[in-house]
């Protein structure tokens, strides 16, 4: 049924129909123009909700039954609880007990803890996942064991899919670190504090039914209202949302790997030489080991030149908050928080501002925050000689990671991918990416420990850095260097079955992932 494949603008063969839905093949950056109106949930009436504002429900099971949980529904959860999450797993434990079948799970991301759901994917409780499939779930998918076709989207793409009605959420179950009986909520307090709840905003606005689950019920009003209770149907109080130490790390750490430090230092030196870090610039930071180290080297450049960053986009960490507090950064706009220091800062510092990823990343909106960013540094599993990037599969073809905000950030003015030239003998710069996640026209620079390659489209960057003394090479030279050291690897063998679809930020299909052959 889903077998008709067409070649998209990136040259990849993709289906126009999967999971019984149609989709548009990728047309190129900015080429697909949506039409129609946004999706909307049914209209509610205050008459149906308690006048005293108390929307509490005894158990999550009751709340799910009252929300009308039945076969074939779409259940959304979000990933602020990361690898410490109890709630998403509990939802499907309940569905399984109730004998519900054919659900679609729509998380903003999955983590290794969600391997708990594999039996439910096998027994038909869940048919497929649209979100990210990390670790064991990725492997499960790659082996062709999921009933439906998985769909991978970026954070912004998830928002776009909800807004455009591509994915209609029947029930949104939102774990909330602080909540009142009416459903006003934030991520700032309580034993499972996550800082911000940016990703959840879309789910509560667009889902038919919204259940808030908290382990920290506070008296009305829960302030600040990161989520406003008018969108909420039920509030469930539970003992524990998850394992605190796996929800957020006490402290994030800069990498101590000497190889990664070389990459970070080269990246920072490149930014300085190319003039893309300057007084008043806007940057996006990450919490990965290399990103944090890059930030430390950038900090030294700022200090040396008496410059300040105007805005740093989160995910925030203690390293960012130190910059904020020492005056090297004026504002943090935060979509997610990575350590306890950052939560403290968010609570104390007005210039550390929580906001929704919806605003920043949704491609189907009136302008895009990411294209205002001067420099973003990202990782990847592979980059090819045409600067195309892969973040979801490794060269062995197995699905292991989600897209996260990666695709969305490619729209920055200067997109730098910083990564080792090879990992455990496997070259990272390749002839052609195993899975296409980001088109090469959006990736400007690749920094490795053995040299920097600039996209030939960026003649300005090539010109500015030509006398910098930096090890600038062509991407072809980097690829050959990796192959000289490692030897050219064989290709993995794939079966015909498409196990996952990779969406571009505008909802079009950029690539597919096929089942790995045994």
Q: Give the residue carrying structure tokens 């406003």.
A: 228
Q: Which of residues 208 and 396 has its CB atom nearest to other proteins in the complex?
A: 396
Binding track over 423-452 against other proteins, x by CB under 8 A: xxxx----------------------xx--
Alpha helices in 327-474 (DSSP H): 340-348, 357-361, 406-409, 459-465
E-strand stretches of 162-260: 171-175, 178-179, 185-186, 209-214, 234-237
Rounded-to-10 torsion of CA 381, 385, 389, 394: -30
Q: Quick one: which of 29, 225, 470, 486 contacts other proteins (CB under 8 A)?
A: 486
| 139 lies in the site for other proteins, by CB under 8 A | no
**Residue range at the interface with other proteins (CB under 8 A); choices 18-26, 147-155, 272-280, 422-430:** 422-430
**Residue range at the interface with other proteins (CB under 8 A); choices 340-348, 391-399, 405-413, 499-507:** 391-399
Half-sphere exposure of 448 (CA within 13 A, CB side): 23
Is 89 exposed, middle or buried, given 0-12, 13-18 or 19+ CB atoms closer than 10 A? middle
Give the whole-angstrom CA distance, residue 314 versus residue 320: 8
Task: Give Dmax (Cα) for the chain.
Answer: 72
Give the whole-angstrom CA distance, residue 310 versus residue 509: 35
- List CB contacts of 193: < 8 A, sequence separation 6 or more: 177, 178, 187, 248, 343
Smallest gap from Cβ 421 to other proteins, in A, equals 9
Give the whole-angstrom CA distance, residue 155 versus residue 404: 5
3-state secondary structure of 332: strand
Binding track over 159-198 against other proteins, x by CB under 8 A: ----------------------------------------
Smallest gap from Cβ 420 to other proteins, in A, equals 9
SS3 track for 100-163:
CCCEEEEECCCCHHHHHHHHHHHCCCEEEEEECCCHHHHHHHHCCCCCCCEEECCHHHHHHHHH
| 37 lies in the site for other proteins, by CB under 8 A | no
Smallest gap from Cβ 309 to other proteins, in A, equals 26
Q: Which of residues 256 and 350 has its CB atom nearest to other proteins in the complex?
A: 256
Q: Quick one: which of 29, 262, 457, 470 contacts other proteins (CB under 8 A)?
A: 262
| 301 lies in the site for other proteins, by CB under 8 A | no
| 382 lies in the site for other proteins, by CB under 8 A | no
| 514 lies in the site for other proteins, by CB under 8 A | no
Smallest gap from Cβ 486 to other proteins, in A, equals 7
- List CB contacts of 190: < 8 A, sequence separation 6 or more: 177, 178, 214, 215, 216
Smallest gap from Cβ 297 to other proteins, in A, equals 13
Q: Quick one: which of 136, 335, 397, 507 contacts other proteins (CB under 8 A)?
A: 397
Smallest gap from Cβ 260 to other proteins, in A, equals 10
Smallest gap from Cβ 259 to other proteins, in A, equals 5
3-state secondary structure of 97: helix
Site for other proteins in 239-258 (CB under 8 A): 256, 258
| 490 lies in the site for other proteins, by CB under 8 A | yes
Q: Quick one: which of 83, 93, 164, 259 contacts other proteins (CB under 8 A)?
A: 259
Give the whole-angstrom CA distance, residue 330 versus residue 347: 16
| 65 lies in the site for other proteins, by CB under 8 A | no
Q: Which of residues 258 and 367 has its CB atom nearest to other proteins in the complex?
A: 258
3-state secondary structure of 417: strand
Q: Which residues bind other proteins (CB under 8 A)?
A: 256, 258-259, 261-262, 395-397, 423-426, 449-450, 485-487, 489-492
């Amino acid at each position: 049924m889903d077998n008709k494949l067409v070649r998209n603008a990136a040259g990849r063969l993709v289906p126009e129909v999967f999971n019984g839905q149609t989709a548009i093949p990728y047309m190129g950056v900015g080429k697909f123009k949506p039409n129609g109106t946004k999706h909307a949930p049914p209209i509610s009436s205050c008459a149906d909700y308690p006048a005293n504002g108390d929307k509490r429900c005894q158990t999550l099971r009751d709340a799910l039954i009252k929300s009308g949980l039945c076969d074939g529904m779409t259940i959304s959860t979000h990933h602020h609880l990361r690898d410490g999450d109890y709630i998403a797993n509990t939802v499907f434990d309940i569905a399984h007990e109730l004998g519900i079948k054919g659900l679609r799970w729509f998380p903003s991301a999955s983590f290794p803890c969600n391997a708990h759901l594999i039996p439910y994917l096998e027994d038909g409780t869940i048919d497929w996942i649209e979100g990210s499939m990390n670790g064991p779930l990725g492997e499960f998918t790659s082996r062709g064991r999921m009933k439906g076709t998985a769909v991978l989207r970026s954070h912004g793409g998830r928002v776009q899919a909800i807004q455009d009605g591509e994915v209609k959420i029947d029930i949104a179950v939102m774990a909330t670190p602080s909540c009142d009986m009416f459903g006003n909520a934030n991520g700032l307090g309580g034993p499972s504090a996550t800082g911000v709840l940016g990703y959840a905003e879309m789910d509560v606005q667009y889902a038919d039914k919204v259940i808030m689950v908290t382990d920290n019920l506070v008296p009305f009003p829960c302030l600040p209202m990161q989520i406003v209770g008018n969108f909420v149907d039920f509030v469930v109080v539970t003992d524990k949302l998850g394992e605190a130490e796996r929800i957020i790390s006490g402290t994030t750490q800069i990498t101590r790997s000497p190889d990664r430090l070389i990459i970070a230092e080269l990246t920072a030196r490149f930014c300085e030489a190319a003039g893309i870090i300057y007084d008043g610039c806007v940057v996006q930071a990450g919490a990965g080991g290399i990103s944090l180290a890059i930030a430390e080297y950038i900090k030294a450049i700022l200090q040396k030149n008496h410059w300040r960053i105007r805005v740093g986009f989160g995910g925030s960490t203690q390293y960012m908050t130190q910059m904020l507090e020492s005056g090297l950064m004026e504002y943090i706009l935060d979509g997610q928080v990575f350590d306890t220091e950052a939560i403290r800062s968010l609570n104390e510092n007005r210039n550390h501002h929580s906001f929704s990823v919806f605003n920043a990343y949704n491609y189907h909106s009136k302008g895009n925050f990411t294209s205002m960013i001067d420099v973003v540094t990202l990782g990847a599993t592979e980059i090819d000689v045409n600067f195309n990037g892969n973040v979801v599969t490794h060269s062995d073809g197995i699905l292991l990671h989600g897209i996260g905000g990666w695709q969305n950030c490619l729209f920055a003015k200067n997109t730098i991918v910083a990564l080792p030239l090879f990992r455990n003998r496997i070259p990272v710069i390749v002839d052609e990416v195993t899975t296409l996640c980001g088109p090469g026209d959006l990736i400007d620079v690749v920094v490795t420990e053995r040299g920097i390659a600039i996209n030939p489209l960026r003649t300005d960057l090539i010109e500015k850095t030509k006398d910098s003394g930096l090890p600038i090479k062509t991407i072809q030279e980097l690829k050959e260097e990796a192959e000289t050291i490692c030897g050219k690897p064989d290709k993995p063998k794939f079966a015909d079955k498409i196990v996952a679809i990779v969406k571009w930020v505008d909802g079009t299909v950029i690539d597919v992932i096929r089942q790995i052959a045994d």
